[in-house]
Amino acid sequence: MNKLKIKISKLIRKAEKKFITKLPIRNVILLESYPDYTDNALAVFKELIKREVNKKYKIIWITDKDIPLPKSLAFKNVSSLSRQEGEKYYYYTHTAKCILCGNNFIDKRKDKQYYLFLAHGAAFKNCKGKYSLPQNCVNDEALAFSEFMAHYDASNLSANENNFLPLGYPRNDTLLNTEIDTKELFENYNFERIIYWLPTYRQNRWGASHSSISIPIIHDEKSAVLINECAKKNNVLIVVKPHPAQVMSFVLTMNLSNLIFIDNDFLNEKGVNNYELLGASDALISDYSSVYFDYLITDKPIGLCWEDFEEYRKNEGFMIDPEFIMKGGEKIYTPDDLCGFIQRISQNEDILKDERENICNLVHKYSDAKSTERVVDHILLRLGEI
- Among the residue ranges 7-16, 23-32, 187-196, the one predicted with the least confidence is 7-16
267-283: string of b/e by CB count within 10 Å (b at 16+)?
beeeebbbbbbbbbbbb
d(CA 371, CA 366): 8
- DSSP-based three-state secondary structure for 100: strand
Is the distance from CB of 96 to CB of 25 less than 8 angstroms?
Answer: yes
d(CA 238, CA 229): 11
pLDDT for 346-366, tens place per residue? 999 999 999 999 999 999 999
Residue 156 has pLDDT above 60, yes or no: yes
Q: What is the average per-residue pLDDT within 74-92?
A: 94
Residue-averaged pLDDT of the chain: 90
Tell me the percentage of the chain whose pLDDT exceeds 70: 89
Q: Do domains 9-168+371-382 and 173-363 have the same CATH topology?
A: yes
Query: What's the pTM value of the predicted model, to 2 decimals?
Result: 0.89
Strand 58-63: give its sheet, edge to edge.
78-82, 58-63, 26-32, 96-101, 114-117, 141-143, 164-165
The contacts of residue 335 (CB under 8 Å, 6+ apart) are: 217, 218, 223, 226, 227
pLDDT at site 47? 98
- Among the residue ranges 163-172, 173-182, 209-218, the one predicted with the least confidence is 209-218
pLDDT for 56-76, tens place per residue? 999 999 998 888 999 999 999
pLDDT for 224-236, tens place per residue? 999 999 999 999 9
pLDDT at site 268? 86
pLDDT for 254-264, tens place per residue? 789 999 999 88
Domain 173-363 bears CATH identifier 3.10.450.40: no
What sign does the dihedral 316-37-296-366 (CA atoms) show? positive
Query: Is residue 155 very low, low, confident or very high in pLDDT (cuts 50, 70, 90)?
Result: very high
The contacts of residue 94 (CB under 8 Å, 6+ apart) are: 20, 21, 23, 109, 110
Query: Is residue 250 very low, low, confident or very high in pLDDT (cuts 50, 70, 90)?
Result: very low
Residue 248 has pLDDT above 90, yes or no: no
Q: What is the average per-residue pLDDT within 14-38?
A: 85
- Among the residue ranges 208-217, 306-315, 371-380, the one predicted with the least confidence is 208-217
Is the distance from CB of 29 to CB of 114 less than 8 angstroms?
Answer: no
Residue 246 has pLDDT above 60, yes or no: no
Q: What is the average per-residue pLDDT within 95-101?
A: 97
Q: What angle do CA 100, 105, 109 make, to 5 degrees?
A: 80
CATH topology of domain 9-168+371-382: Rossmann fold (3.40.50)
Q: CA 200 → CA 38, 130, 240, 312, 355, distances in Å?
A: 18, 17, 11, 11, 23
Is the distance from CB of 60 to CB of 31 less than 8 angstroms?
Answer: yes
Q: What is the average per-residue pLDDT within 97-105?
A: 96
Dihedral Cα 144, 145, 151, 153, nearest 10 deg: -50
d(CA 85, CA 90): 8
Is the distance from CB of 48 to CB of 177 less than 8 angstroms?
Answer: no
pLDDT at site 12? 52
The contacts of residue 188 (CB under 8 Å, 6+ apart) are: none
Where are the domains positioned within the chain?
9-168+371-382, 173-363
Q: What is the DSSP letter of 125?
A: B
The contacts of residue 194 (CB under 8 Å, 6+ apart) are: 182, 186, 236, 237, 238, 239, 280, 281, 282
pLDDT at site 244? 64
